[in-house]
Structure 1
Amino acid sequence: MFVRIIPLIFCLFLGLLPTSHAASNVPELPKLDAAQYLLVDFLSGTELAAKDPDKRIEPASITKLMTAYVLYQELEKGNISIEDRVLVSEKAWKMEGSRMFLEAGKKVPLERMISGLIVQSGNDSAIALAEHTSGSEENFVRKMNEEAVRLGMTNTNFVNVTGWPNPRHYMSARDIVTLTRAVITEYPEHYKLYAEKEYSYNGIKQYNRNKLLWHDETVDGVKTGHTESAGYCLLASAQRGTMRLISVVLGTESDKKRSNYSQQLLEYGFRFYETHKLYDKNSVLTEARVWKGNSPTVPTGILEDFYVTIPKGHYAQLKGLMEINKSIDAPVKRGDVVGMAIIKDVDRVVLQKPLVAMDSVDTGGTWTNITDSIKKLFVE
């Protein structure tokens, strides 16, 4: 490993903090005429390009990504089954906008409705599935907002399951990426459906509105959105080799522009950046001194795979160091933050991630407490 240890410095960070990778060999992204956009590496979470990523915007049908995410959870819990037959209500049947053309009063296999939700972006299927799962759209929306809070989507609030315009219904580009990473990570089998180019129901064939599925074979999702007020929006993801990128383009003037801008973002990321795994999850990297405990040290490391995204050709320049808290008192629990792993590209910090205790350390006896209290005076 390329890590060196600086033992007596401490910085507390609560989460992964990607850092901008502006570098001399990475040109500026050409100007994109979109209201907001964001390009993120899936594995490292590093943001490679952005414009107003935290601004609250109308997400239109990108909303249905959260609708589907909650459905996946309910399927996993066994609260609903892929074999369920879903009753189509009058409310679902009357929905305007994109539809899979369900008929009121009929029961449709849940599996077919999920395909209609994702591939055809069916507003009618979204309503019917929400009512089947939670009794009403309102109840289902509460689950959507609960999940948004759990995932840390701080600029998101849902009012409906379809993305129908409402001033209290909004997301941000960064929140959209957060949700996308969760869907791909937690439900890879369900995610495959986002690459389907067409789906037929009730004798009507409809095509996926994500035109990149036809133009770039590495693109495998994710979701389009459009209303008069939101403009044309596209959430896309592509994988080339082991590197996956997620792009969000919001508020463009046309279907063509949202596709072109999304392709530009993806090409920019793949052309000028590369992603590497530095450490496997549960890797022990060093030890930290523990005072007043039944053990004088605790192994420290990381609980998740540790990736870094850097300008191409910079991997050999990376340096790693660890900053460890010099004043750790027992008790210590596994997962407690005890320092920081820092990755530098020459002298520029490119990524920081918390170092945590990999084991627990209980409080020591009276004598240990006394002697360590004295010793600690000479190192603080």
Structure 2
Amino acid sequence: MKPAQYAVAFLVGTSLTSQAFAAAPPFDTTARVAFMQDMNSGAILYQKQPDFRMPPASLAKMMTVYVAFSLIKSGDLKLDQKFTMSPDTWKKWHSQGSTMFIGAGEQVSVADLLSGIITLSGNDACVVLAEGIAGTEPAFVNLMNQQRQKLGMNNSNFGTSNGWPDNGVTYVTARDLATLAEATIRNYPDLYKQFYSKPNFAWGKTMAGSNISQENRDPILGKVPGADGLKTGHTDEAGYGFTGSAEQNGRRLVMVLAGMGSWDERVNQSIGFMNWGFSAWRLKPLFSKGKRIETAEVQGGSSSSVGLVAPNDLAVTVPLGVGGILGQKAGGDAPPMKVVYDGPIKAPIKAGQHIADLVVSPPGQDAQTLPLVAESDVGEAGFFGRIWASIKALFSWI
């Protein structure tokens, strides 16, 4: 039988009225598509056509990098492993759009290819990496689509490793790009830090024999405090786009802008958007790490329930100007909230396992969903425990 969804509503302290919350601060952008999310609370701070399907241009390279990161973490790919630029690949990509300037027959390490993709946006580097990992680019694209399915990027599809126009086969949405950016940062923090914030990278030689050094195209890197990634994109069809992230005082935002008309517009809009996200909003604490929020019913376990606790310090994102401290951390006021889970939750359960969510609904804002985890292990019930549970379930229907 499919588990039922349990929703336990409760208030902490005194419920705040909508008047206690400032209105969502205004922002206007010339970008056709825009999206911003606070990774700490899950709050969506801004959205403009977030689910509009659009060509990603080089923003697709974020998924190429994500696939490589996953293989590196699993041990199936090494940073010092080298792949060779084939003559056919060189002929097609050595001067097609952005390039890393890899020579025909040249061997390049995975680490250098990743720098060539992220920092230089090299179309040639993407294809060399794809062919080196999977044998052919189409086989690698299958890996890209497997990962986007795992991430729940249901409004996206990939047809190339570098986002080159392919008659609409490749498309993404701003919401899906934000999901990909967040997954990259959460799942591969060390690799993200190692590769995404390089200000420049040099590869190849000029006709005179000088090193070819190119700047990172990230429009907020070095211009917004805490900016450390991710990726720009541009084609005539897609316009100018950017997916970016920055962290200030432990608070991380992810933003997406797309469909802009020029390089300068992308720079100005991206800087303004990210600065607005940090200046117009702030985090307010709800519960400290380890705080028990509720309990969940357990099926077939050595215990009939398990505590639901905060896996880290939980906070809600609110407009600047909202006073007071929220939640039990300081005994203050809090917005309406509820715990939601599919249950009863089947044993066994491991301590720290994500089994429920805390849904917080600040008046005048979209709900913010925060994870809750099991407080302790719950083993499976023994033989007599299962018999007793069956008897109780039988009589519960009488």
TM category, shorter: 0.7 to 0.9
Q: 1:206 aligns with which of 214, 217, 222?
A: 214
Identity, % of aligned positions: 32
- Structure 1 residue 44: Cα displacement: 2.1
Check conservation: 1:318, 1:344, Cα contact below 8 A.
no
- Structure 1 residue 77: Cα displacement: 2.4
Distance 1:65 1:56 in 2: 17
CA distances 1:196-254 after superposition (whole Å, capped 9, x unpaired): 12111121111111232242243211111000100001112111111111111101000
In the alignment, structure 1 residue 11 sits paired with structure 2 residue 4: no
Distance 1:194 1:250 in 2: 20
Please name the residue that 2:14 is paired with: none
Please name the residue that 1:262 is paired with: 270
Q: 2:317 aligns with which of 291, 296, 309?
A: 309
Check conservation: 2:281, 2:317, Cα contact below 8 A.
yes
Distance 1:355 1:189 in 2: 25
Please name the residue that 1:117 is paired with: 117
Identify if the C-alpha distance between structure 1 residues 207 and 352 changes in structure 2 by more than 3 Å, giving closer, same or farther: closer
TM-score by length of 1: 0.82
Other structure's SS at 1:98 match? coil
Identify if the C-alpha distance between structure 1 residues 92 and 214 changes in structure 2 by more than 3 Å, giving closer, same or farther: farther
Other structure's SS at 2:71 match? helix
Please name the residue that 1:140 is paired with: 140
Please name the residue that 1:127 is paired with: 127
Check conservation: 2:228, 2:245, Cα contact below 8 A.
yes
- Structure 1 residue 324: Cα displacement: 7.7
Other structure's SS at 2:201 match? strand
Check conservation: 2:25, 2:319, Cα contact below 8 A.
no
User: What is the identity, as a one-letter code, of the residue corresponding to 1:211?
Assistant: P
User: What is the identity, as a one-letter code, of the residue corresponding to 1:239?
Assistant: E
Please name the residue that 1:149 is paired with: 149
User: What is the identity, as a one-letter code, of the residue corresponding to 1:42?
Assistant: M
Other structure's SS at 2:221 match? helix
Identify if the C-alpha distance between structure 1 residues 346 and 152 changes in structure 2 by more than 3 Å, giving closer, same or farther: closer
Please name the residue that 1:234 is paired with: 242
Please name the residue that 1:341 is paired with: 358
Identify if the C-alpha distance between structure 1 residues 152 and 278 changes in structure 2 by more than 3 Å, giving closer, same or farther: same
Which shows bigger deviation, 93-102 or 257-266? 257-266
Which shows bigger deviation, 253-262 or 212-221? 212-221
Check conservation: 2:44, 2:366, Cα contact below 8 A.
no
Distance 1:97 1:333 in 2: 53
Please name the residue that 2:170 is paired with: 169
User: What is the identity, as a one-letter code, of the residue corresponding to 2:114?
Assistant: I
1:80-95 to structure 2, matched below 5 A, reads: 80-93=77-90, 94-95=92-93
Which shows bigger deviation, 134-143 or 70-79? 70-79
Identify if the C-alpha distance between structure 1 residues 371 and 189 changes in structure 2 by more than 3 Å, giving closer, same or farther: closer
For this pair of structures, how many residues does the alignment match? 359
In the alignment, structure 1 residue 184 sits paired with structure 2 residue 185: yes
Check conservation: 1:11, 1:340, Cα contact below 8 A.
no
Identify if the C-alpha distance between structure 1 residues 65 and 346 changes in structure 2 by more than 3 Å, giving closer, same or farther: closer
Which shows bigger deviation, 80-89 or 128-137? 80-89
CA distances 1:72-94 after superposition (whole Å, capped 9, x unpaired): 12222222222122201124323
Distance 1:36 1:348 in 2: 20
CA distances 1:325-347 after superposition (whole Å, capped 9, x unpaired): 9x966855538998763435479
Please name the residue that 2:50 is paired with: 53
Other structure's SS at 2:164 match? coil
Please name the residue that 1:107 is paired with: 107
- Structure 1 residue 302: Cα displacement: 5.3
- Structure 1 residue 280: Cα displacement: 6.0
Other structure's SS at 1:215 match? coil
Please name the residue that 1:251 is paired with: 259
Distance 2:348 2:360 in 1: 25
Which shows bigger deviation, 243-252 or 184-193? 184-193
- Structure 1 residue 308: Cα displacement: 2.3
CA distances 1:132-190 after superposition (whole Å, capped 9, x unpaired): 11111111110000000000001111011011012110111011011101111122222
User: What is the identity, as a one-letter code, of the residue corresponding to 1:334?
Assistant: I
* Unaligned stretches of 5+ residues in structure 2: 10-19, 205-210, 327-332
Check conservation: 1:275, 1:308, Cα contact below 8 A.
yes
* Unaligned stretches of 5+ residues in structure 1: 1-8, 14-21
Distance 1:324 1:236 in 2: 31
User: What is the identity, as a one-letter code, of the residue corresponding to 2:24?
Assistant: V
Q: 1:41 aligns with which of 38, 46, 51?
A: 38
- Structure 1 residue 321: Cα displacement: 5.0
Distance 2:68 2:120 in 1: 17
Identify if the C-alpha distance between structure 1 residues 99 and 320 changes in structure 2 by more than 3 Å, giving closer, same or farther: same
User: What is the identity, as a one-letter code, of the residue corresponding to 2:368?
Assistant: L
Please name the residue that 2:199 is paired with: 197
Distance 2:345 2:39 in 1: 36
Distance 1:344 1:365 in 2: 38
Which shows bigger deviation, 102-111 or 357-366? 357-366
Distance 1:159 1:309 in 2: 37
Distance 1:221 1:200 in 2: 18
Identify if the C-alpha distance between structure 1 residues 279 and 137 changes in structure 2 by more than 3 Å, giving closer, same or farther: farther
Check conservation: 2:85, 2:106, Cα contact below 8 A.
yes
Check conservation: 2:8, 2:339, Cα contact below 8 A.
no
User: What is the identity, as a one-letter code, of the residue corresponding to 2:187?
Assistant: E
- Structure 1 residue 297: Cα displacement: 3.7
